[in-house]
Structure 1
Amino acid sequence: MRIAPNTMMASVPIGLGSNAADVLRAPRSAGTGEIAKLGGASRCLPWPDRTTMPVDPMPIPSDLHYTLAPGAQVPQWAAMWEHLSTAFGETLSAFARLGPGDMLLVWVAVLLTLLCILVARLSRGLSRFTGRQLHLTTSLADTALAAGCLQREMNERQLRAYVDVAAVSFQRFAPGQEIIVQVELRNHGLTPALNLIAQVTLAFLPFPAPDLPVLEAPSPDLLPSVLAARESRAVLQGVSIQSTPGTAERLLTGELGLYVLGKLTYADVFGREHVTTVSMVASGERLKGRQPFVRCEAGNQSS
């Protein structure tokens, strides 16, 4: 079926006695308002012309906007202020129509709202202040704890025992005889040294010695002792030179040195263990003059 130009298709329901599926599609002649019959009875319905249909767009208050550019509008503040003033006046009129009891309830609600806002702000400020105070208190506690630990450590360092070898001197030195030296142990601290074990040995080594021997574990015959504060104790130690002929001459010429190697272990009254290692030597002119031993550049440490 061909449809003439300027025609519209319409679907119209058939009368009550006809089938609902039987739909009438017919062209409308321009300006006649009638529907052609395509088999079966039908009802003629008027069809409005599009050119005569009324258009009712949504009105926009022209007093609220003015055009700056195509498609861009900004509010007029004078008109908006007028509308706000009107709304405020109506609100005051509504309040004026309220009774005394209603007004009292309104003011009570307003005051309660303001009170809640004030309490909330005070609570927030108080919580911030409490947090800062807690942070400062924690910092002060940590600082006080660190200062207390430092002070306690300084007190222990000032009061603890310090055991060292104060001097080593000759007791006997003659060719063909045993060499005997006296080692003086001294506690320089203000409290006793507990469980003191003094391990001392003599050795003939090249002078100067490139390396010093490491002392072995102390003999089980060495019993721990206590050395009081500011007190000294003498320990005698001997070594024979008869088994090695020419040792005395090499010591006097400075080819060899007589080394005193010591290891002192003890505990202070605060329960801490300490170790002191000693390395002293005499050779050449010092042996000839029977002068005290001097400390080596290495092998002297304390903890």
Structure 2
Amino acid sequence: MPVLELRSLPEAVWRARAAAHEDRVDALVAEHLARRGTGGKHPVHDFLFTYYSFRPAQLRRWSPGYGVALEGGPDTPTTEDVRARHDLVAGTHALLVATAGRPANLGCFGLHEWAMVYRASAEEVRHAAYPLRLGGAGTDAVVDGHRVACSHFDAYRFFTPAARPLNALSPAAHDRPAHEQPGCLHAGMDLYKHAFRLAPLVPAELVADCFELARDIRVLDMRAAPYDLTALGYEPVRIETAEGKREYAEAQRGFAERGAPLRARLVEECARLLAAA
């Protein structure tokens, strides 16, 4: 367990950090807030605010995390706050450690998004405003012609009833530590979820770092999906071809490498909080 170091930040330092964080988040969420103001929707980026429950205003709120006092500033999280969330911290720590301990599996090729529309009617397609690149029959044929091996429960649970029996794994909500692995795009995006669920016990900058990773992963996730998003400026990653598989796996490897230090930082923060509690 790391040693908990209690420290204080001079007012000039924490105000500068808070302002920098707010400016950073303002730039990250500006387009989403503009769309929200006009009722517009975006199938790629709005996911970070509809699927995940952290609002832009919460993401913008700065905190140095537990163990730091702000000279001349507001109160920061207390030991009682940490103790109240012990079970969440412990569960998050166990999941992140288990995930980090596995090699990255780069052979799923994003088929989870295809399995979510497998043999679905037009009314059941999640992003019905955008056509399927290969049509319904062509999309189904891609799923039928591949081994589907999704390890992430929160992706698997959105598979159509016809697709669920095709998955090589049966991940469940209660056994995430037994399945999640660092090559999974959704496990990478979920670093943002783990970070914001720990806020304000962890530094706000770490939450924003995880948000940026999730934003970039989401682009690949949808470029490799069966939808035609060229009207939005997204060229498809054609995972139904050998070239597309190579492109996807290489990008997946890059995100796994980007996610590793963020996962390690979250593990360290969880260990610190567990020591404090």
TM-score range, shorter-chain basis?
A: under 0.3
TM-score between both structures, scaled by the size of structure 2: 0.16
Higher relative CO (Cα under 8 Å, sequence separation at least 6) belongs to 2
| Structure with the bigger percentage of helix | 2
TM-score between both structures, scaled by the size of structure 1: 0.16
| Structure with the bigger percentage of strand | 1
